[in-house]
Structure 1
Amino acid sequence: MIDHSGISTSDFDAAKAFYSAALAPLGSSYLFTVPAEHTGGVAVGGFGQDRPQFWINQGPAQVPPLHFAFTAQSRAQVDAFHEAALAAGGTCNGPPGLRPHYHADYYGAFVLDMDGNNIEAVCHAPA
């Protein structure tokens, strides 16, 4: 349903490093920087697998912070996302595990990025 989305970040370079590390276990990477002449000089870049689907741009952080859930193909990817995001400076907002109050096979992990956004990896496949 959603083709792409994005957030503003108070520190573009720090967010680029954080999301590069956190999204790598899910098979995503930093793919594209929008040329400054198209953004009025604002840093803008996108992450994805085959095309940018999650964008960051330099600017004030959203108030209130946002929540993004990224698809993981396995529970091991959820675990690796959580570990990588914490190592890259994120704050734990819910360790990897089942969330049966959402759905019986909902396995997710949550981290806060440097701007307080709730970033999640989730796998819906049964164990």
Structure 2
Amino acid sequence: MTSPDRTGSQIDHLNFGVSDLQASAEFYRGALAPLGITEIMRVPPGAEQLAMIAFGWAHVKPFFWIVDAPGSQVGPHTHLAFSAPDRTTVDAFHDAALAAGATELRPPGLQPEYHATYYGSFVRDLNGIDLEAVCHHV
């Protein structure tokens, strides 16, 4: 059996239900700013649609959405890692996330259990989602 060609395959976007859409949007605007990730669009609620706010890089389609879902809970160990271009950006993400209200899980640093140059920062957002900024090179 041959494996399918996965060239170009990737996750297109992720949605997470949040208990307070506006508070979560404020958190993510602050926490993701060092990564160059900004709020791109808002989708109002409709007959079969919950209100949503999308984040991504300017002039590119959104890839991370938060959905207005009061009372929703994420499963344990829900984790989302954002790529950072360098270690300084990982540090800046960590500081911005804490300033926005995140709880620290691991401060920025090497994580050699993953590989020799894995440099990451781990925090928990307002909804219990574990977030990471990671740089894979020196």
Range class of TM-score, shorter chain: over 0.9
**Separation in 1, partners of 2:48, 2:84:** 31
* Structure 2 CA distance for aligned equivalents of residues 13 and 65 of structure 1: 24
Alignment partners' CA distance in 2, 1:39 and 1:109? 37
| Count, aligned residues | 125
Residues 30-45 of structure 1 mapped to structure 2, 5 A cutoff: 30-37=39-46, 39-40=48-49, 42-45=50-53
How many angstroms does 1:63 deviate by? Answer: 2.5
Q: Which structure has the larger Rg over C-alpha atoms?
A: 2
2:85 maps to 1:76:
no
Q: State which of 16, 19, 25 in structure 1 corresponds to 2:25.
A: 16
Q: Who is 1:123 aligned against?
A: 135
Aligned partners of 2:99, 2:135: CA distance in 1, in Å? 21
CA distance in 1, matches of 2:106, 2:62: 27
1:35 positional shift: 2.9
More helix by share: 1
**In structure 1, the residue corresponding to 2:27 is in which secondary structure?**
helix
The residue correspondences of 1:52-91 to structure 2 (distance < 5 A) are 52-59=62-69, 60-91=72-103
Tell me how far 1:37 sits from its aligned partner.
Answer: 2.7
Moved over 3 A (4+): none
**Match for residue 110 of structure 1 among 122, 132, 138:** 122
Provide, for residues 46-83 of structure 1, a one-character-per-residue CA deviation record: whole Å limited to 9, x for no partner: 10002210010011121325100000001000000000
Is the counterpart of residue 92 in structure 1 residue 92 in structure 2?
A: no
Give the unaligned 5+ runs of structure 1: none
* % identical equivalent positions: 49
